[in-house]
Homo-oligomer: A and B are copies of this chain.
Amino acid sequence: MDRIRRAEEDDHARIVEAIGTWWSDSRSPQAARELSMLVPRLFLQHFAGTSFVIERDGGFLGFLVGFVSQDHPEQAYVHFVGVDPARRRGGVARRLYEAFFDIARQAGCTTVKCVTSPVNTGSVGFHRRMGFSLVPGDHEVDGLPVQGDYDGLGQDRVCFVRELA
């Protein structure tokens, strides 16, 4: 039985390892390692209360790292989500997001935001199914609104927002 729980600092090493493994189909080992730099330990030390992991029989199936905006307390932000490729389309990501929505509502948030890469069409489709809207961009790629150089030069992003009813 899959079990969802709050993340803990000790999950950091497994999250970094998972990023290196789970993204290895679409990225070089170097690029997967770079990706894991997006989740330094600080997120598991200081934002574990709004982050979750799903396990089964001790195995690690997925994680979500999110937080409540310090500057805009009515906004919650999903920073990084990973699901074991063997378990994709099995509802793991949905369960992680729903747990995050619940805790964000409890914290008084009214919206959730997140971003993804324009090439990650799977992620775009998932966020649409989860009720996110696409934020207008400064140009379009394959019909998607894209914000150019959003996270640095060449780091374009599609931006999402969802109301928390």
Contacts and interface: CB of A to CB of B under 8 A. Distances in A.
Interface of A: 13, 16-17, 33-34, 36-38, 40-42, 45-50, 67-72, 75, 77, 79, 149-153
Contacts of A72: 46
B46 A70 contact: yes
Given A40-B151, A46-B75, A49-B71, 10 more contacts: A13-B152, A16-B151, A34-B37, A38-B40, A46-B71, A46-B72, A46-B77, A48-B71, A50-B70, A70-B70
Contacts of A48: 71
A107 to B, nearest CB: 9
A116 to B, nearest CB: 12
